[in-house]
Amino acid sequence: MNQVIEENEQEAWWFIVSQGKLVALDKGELIPFGSINDLPFPEGATVNKRLLGEYNGASCYLVELDDFLDVGLGDYVTLRSLLGRVPDLLFDMSGRALQIALFYKTHQFCGQCGQKMQEIDWEIAMKCYHCQHRAYPRVSPCIIVAIRKHKQILLALHKRHQQSNYPVYTTLAGFTEAGESLEACIEREVFEEVGIKVKNIQYVSSQPWPFPHSLMMGFTADYASGEVCADTHELVEANWYDADNLPIMPKHGTIARKLIEKTLKRCR
Ligand SMILES: [Zn+2]
């Protein structure tokens, strides 16, 4: 028993990142797992590992490499390509790895005085010892809301989805502004995008959305007043849909789909 634990302690998940992509295997859980000695890093490569957290009882490490250095394990892939192909928590950890790698890359110099920043070793932060300014990885709060009117749900086709192979009709979403509560953000975004007022705003759950560093905070709400009029800067169209006559929906595993399913249950 002890031996198994010892062996497990040495094995870890490896998030090998270069220029915004990460190494994925073409089998199993896709993220490389094993002891560092099993990883065929080329001789001379500087392997600087940073602890990200734990998954399934094993440590998760970030390794940043230059120029898509071939580690002989698999190709460098985009995070988006892992969506729905790895377990949710492993996907979130992959997002964390890429966000932290991006954070270190973009915080080499102090935003206040321009001096070189130094890594702090007890938390994930960069500090300027010249002016004491400290920076942390950016997380951008973003609301996402499914709206119900009696037995119908409001779904919109976003301009960014129009040209894709999978033109989904989905919920409304938007970034929280400085000084704004989540509730005020929902009221503002919904009014700006479709011209209606909502009520009964209820929090459901959240999902890190690392493209590049959003935190989606999911809500449901009910229609209160107004006529739907889609803002053509962001939307192609927005309409009320019956539960038995729906357009193309977001994929399972996304918070948008979860909010839609929850709202459809209330519609029926
Ligand atoms: Zn400074």
Residues 198 and 101 in one domain: no
**The pLDDT of residue 8 is above 70:** no
Cα(109) to ligand 1 centroid in Å equals 8
Residues 166 and 112 in one domain: no
Q: Is there a binding annotation on residue 161?
A: no
**The pLDDT of residue 190 is above 50:** yes
Query: What tens digit of pLDDT does each residue of 114-161 get?
Result: 999 999 988 899 999 999 999 999 999 999 999 999 999 999 999 988
Structure tokens, 84: 């729905």
CA atoms within a 13 Å half-sphere pointing along the CA-CB vector of 251: 6
Residues 90 and 159 in one domain: no
Q: Is there a binding annotation on residue 240?
A: no
Residues 196 and 94 in one domain: no
Cα(176) to ligand 1 centroid in Å equals 28
Cα(122) to ligand 1 centroid in Å equals 19
Measured CA to CA, the distance from residue 109 to residue 116 in angstroms comes to 4
Cα(106) to ligand 1 centroid in Å equals 15
Total count of domains within the chain: 3
Q: Is there a binding annotation on residue 136?
A: yes
Residues 262 and 175 in one domain: yes
Residues 79 and 159 in one domain: no
Residues 228 and 159 in one domain: yes
By CB atoms closer than 10 A (0-12, 13-18, 19+), residue 67 is exposed
The pLDDT of 173-191, averaged and rounded, is 97
Structure tokens, 264: 């459809």
Supply the DSSP string of 215-233, one letter for each residue.
EEEEEEEEEEE------TT
On whether the CB atoms of residues 11 and 58 are closer than 8 A, the answer is yes
Residues 163 and 254 in one domain: yes
The pLDDT of 228-240, averaged and rounded, is 95
Q: Is there a binding annotation on residue 256?
A: yes
Measured CA to CA, the distance from residue 118 to residue 121 in angstroms comes to 9
Q: Is there a binding annotation on residue 212?
A: yes
The residue segments making up the domain with residue 69 are 2-106
Residues 101 and 54 in one domain: yes
Cα(115) to ligand 1 centroid in Å equals 5
Q: Is there a binding annotation on residue 141?
A: no
Q: Is there a binding annotation on residue 142?
A: no
What's at 99, amino acid-wise? Q
Cα(134) to ligand 1 centroid in Å equals 8
Cα(136) to ligand 1 centroid in Å equals 14
Query: What tens digit of pLDDT does each residue of 56-80 get?
Result: 999 999 999 888 888 888 899 999 8
Q: Is there a binding annotation on residue 80?
A: yes
